[in-house]
């Protein structure tokens, strides 16, 4: 079986951003490739039958979530801010497939998250999209056109369905074969699995 960690994320998810602070290093340290997959958190919840309101609709939970996010960010030594304006991440998630076609998945993810969680920018601002494209060496008009084209929505929906079919009900979700971990706070369990596999112990179920 290919040694790959599949990473399902949504740019709306602060805990996907936080998990990504460790994942590339974990994958490299144990000889795994890190495969990125954009998926809709809202749709994954619906597909799993989770009809609970969003965290933003529960003030007490939102307040705690932001405290928790800051604690993790402090532990990792990274900044974290809520994005300004709209929290519709679908456009940036769709833009991921433009990066995928060019083999620039990690560059795109890092660049976009820096702008959202380090700088606190608005994820539906077209200027943000154009800035990402320029910094990655892409034609901004081509990138924006791709994001707005229906084909990118179809790929996004297909990626979300694949995530659901593999057992994901939220993000961040990490999979190796059929072994699954959900949440930034499960990375220690993922690392234990990687250590065990490296020493000839437990193997992923494919």
Mean pLDDT across the stretch 78-102?
96
Count other C-beta atoms under 10 Å from residue 174's C-beta: 27
pLDDT of 201 reads 65
> Is residue 206, in this structure, part of any structural domain at all?
no
Tell me which long-range contacts 155-159 makes (C-beta under 8 A, separation of at least 24): 155/94, 155/97, 156/38, 156/39, 156/40, 156/90, 156/93, 156/94, 156/97, 157/40, 157/43, 159/37, 159/38, 159/39, 159/97
Tell me if residue 13 is catalytic.
yes
The pLDDT assigned to 42 comes to: 96
pLDDT digits (tens, 9 = 90+) for 21-31: 999 999 999 99
In a domain, 175, yes or no: yes
Confidence of residue 206 (pLDDT cuts 50, 70, 90): very low
91 confidence band (pLDDT: 50, 70, 90): very high
Q: Is residue 203 part of a domain?
A: no
Could you tell me the pTM of the whole model? 0.94
For residue 168, is it within any domain?
yes
- Residue 107 sits in which domain range? 4-198
| Structural domain count, the chain | 1
Tokens matching residue 124: 């539906």
What confidence score (pLDDT) does residue 153 get?
Answer: 98
Sheet holding 33-38, edge to edge: 33-38, 4-9, 173-176, 179-182
Q: Across residues 8-14, what is the average pLDDT?
A: 97
Pick the catalytic residue from 13, 40, 89, 197: 13
Percent of the chain scored above 90 by pLDDT?
A: 90
Residue 31's CATH number? 3.40.30.10
Supply 93's token pair.
Answer: 């998630």
The whole-angstrom separation of Cα 24 and Cα 21 is 7
Give residue-wise pLDDT tens across range 110-165: 999 999 999 999 999 999 999 999 999 999 999 999 999 999 999 999 999 999 99
């Amino acid at each position: 079986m290919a040694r790959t960690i599949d990473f399902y994320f949504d740019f709306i998810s602060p805990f996907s951003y936080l998990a990504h602070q460790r994942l590339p290093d974990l994958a490299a340290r144990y000889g795994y490739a890190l495969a990125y997959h954009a998926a809709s958190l809202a749709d994954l919840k619906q597909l799993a039958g989770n009809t609970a309101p969003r965290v933003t609709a529960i003030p007490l939970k939102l307040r705690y979530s932001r405290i928790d996010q800051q604690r993790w960010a402090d532990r990792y030594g990274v900044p974290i801010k809520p994005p300004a304006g709209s929290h519709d991440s679908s456009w940036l998630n769709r833009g991921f497939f433009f990066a995928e076609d060019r083999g620039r998945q990690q560059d795109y993810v890092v660049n976009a998250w820096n702008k959202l969680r380090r700088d606190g920018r608005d994820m539906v601002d077209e200027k943000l999209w154009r800035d990402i494209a320029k910094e990655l060496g892409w034609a901004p008009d081509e990138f924006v056109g791709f994001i707005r084209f229906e084909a990118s929505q179809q790929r996004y929906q297909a990626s979300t369905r694949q995530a659901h079919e593999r057992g994901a009900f939220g993000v961040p979700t990490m999979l190796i074969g059929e072994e699954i971990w959900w949440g930034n706070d499960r990375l220690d369990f993922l690392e234990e699995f990687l250590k065990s596999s490296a020493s000839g112990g437990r193997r992923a179920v494919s």
